Structure 1
């Protein structure tokens, strides 16, 4: 029982326990609902009740009376192990859970979101999924996305490739949203796939009435059954439950801390819009179609890559530190067209001399790097810095990690960075990508 002393005495006085249906009376108002547990650090003197509408309210116990309507069990998050039914007429979709909010519940010890659902629980918590496909489910990790690591990208790619080799018609990955775009980029470089690989998540956990997990999961399965054989991110396209967008894995980014429509295609348009359970492909998009590629896996990666944001007054020590510590590559998030203060240029020259590739991206996100416009930019080019073109900084970082896993030769790495491998940069920027 996590209720503190005052509230605990109140519950004992009325013979109430967590999970009971109760009615509380306060002056001329009464509320009926299920008594819920509370975070350990919550203020004392309050009850939390789940109303029939699905919403929770807090009621101060001062001048409040309560009555038991029906005894109940303490709510349990999770599902008993049971076999997921199969239908031979439906496609086979693999669901791989790495954790994150989409497979999380509220931890009442702290009031925080905690990853607890298994991949199998996701299907059982969203039974409508069974209308669309058969499922092979597995929990690869059970972590919040801030704990994702490059070595986890490797294991995820290998597991996905194994599922595809065993006959999966598509793969859905449940992932935390904060680092989803890093994983999407990593899988885009590591895998050539003959089937769709769809990454999805949620901004609100599955046990909340306002969760976006259900629609994101269902639309991801619809995308996994489609003809789009690429690594994509499928997330809400509006604040309401109207539609989702399918974004290319190397062109997507989380752009808001809490909105449901947080994910946007950067310097690109979404590949498709999924609405009313139908997928509408952008007619301007040239995507890889199902079966065009043979499965290829290349998970070699270099983890020792620096990621530095330029700012007014930045010291060359930031660059020198990474060189001295043996970093194999550096991505710079420069200002504007790809600028940094001129005091960093000598450090860039040292990096080039030591065959450490430095890649320039922009903090502006939209638009492309062009270091030829201003004199400092030209000096940066002369110092050996590689243009990140219109890649997002995160995609450039992931790509450099992967490129250094393919070769330790400076010229070969530079060639890989300038070769469009998974649609990570556009040959020409379009104003509509920014306006829309």
Structure 2
């Protein structure tokens, strides 16, 4: 007999209890996942479809009650069963308030476990699946959000994911252009093929052609073997050209041929190689300005922009700041604190009020710093000063006077400061005493 459809996650710092629970549940034909800490449990919840959580309460570091609260909000459709060796009325009430369906006290029999699991499954919603937020996150990889601005981006992704049309992604620095490119690739039917990301701004101009198209032995100093370029490596998949505006005109000419003819020629070779790749390009500068300056080919621009995706800045999708903040709190809470970190309402309001000129990258850096500086919750005190409330004072009105009047007023001010000592005043004004006398007259 095979396993039942349900997956059960077991969480306990006692490995012997984990093994016992696993043996009992396997004899009941359930498939199980084991975790010895809350940190491991959350990682499993993020990657697997779990139908029931069975957790101990007393564990070192982050306890089981924290895990129960986390699952109740992030995975509300997953039923929860608490197993503990330290029963108390107050403890039982607290876990029940957190959404726990069953409460089992150690030691327990196999029949008691079987009954508790069955009751937990009976009380679950008909659709035992991850919440919509997590579904969206899975669908679009690291690209998350619920704003209208980001929905426009995901709508385009849905339309282009299964074809190899050339795509151009524009947006300010730090908005997540590479995340959009990865989502296009990994959501579609070419997801199993290579995805090669190339930062054109990070490769010296003299080497960019060789890195993109490959080279032959002896093509230049240091070329001691034949080598594939990024386009050959991305065959049948996607090559993502970030900061394409940094490519030289010579490289642009060769790239134009690649897009037109679907073939490349290695540096130092005359042999043409056919390739099958989807090209996604991105930039944070206006290519039309570069065209006007003669620094970017207009024909290449139109080849690249078969489909255009404009990634909105964070200030235009502020309703997504809460989701992004939770993502970074989880990431850096586990990395730096080995526990879940929350954020106060006041601190979250400060994040939502700020305009984020550095976009998502700046938000991530702020949250990373705040997690390091805080204890268990990020508060206003943990945020940098530029995010806090500022008072803007009105500029003092300035009376505009002719230069002669300004000079007169300043000379009188210096004379007053020197008690009418003309020698000292002339020294301060860096003129001789005779000139000062004439100006006084």
TM-score of the aligned structures, taking structure 1 as reference length: 0.25
Question: Is the helix fraction higher in 1 or 2?
Answer: 2
TM-score of the aligned structures, taking structure 2 as reference length: 0.25
Question: Is the strand fraction higher in 1 or 2?
Answer: 1
In our comparison, the structure showing a higher alpha carbon Rg is 2
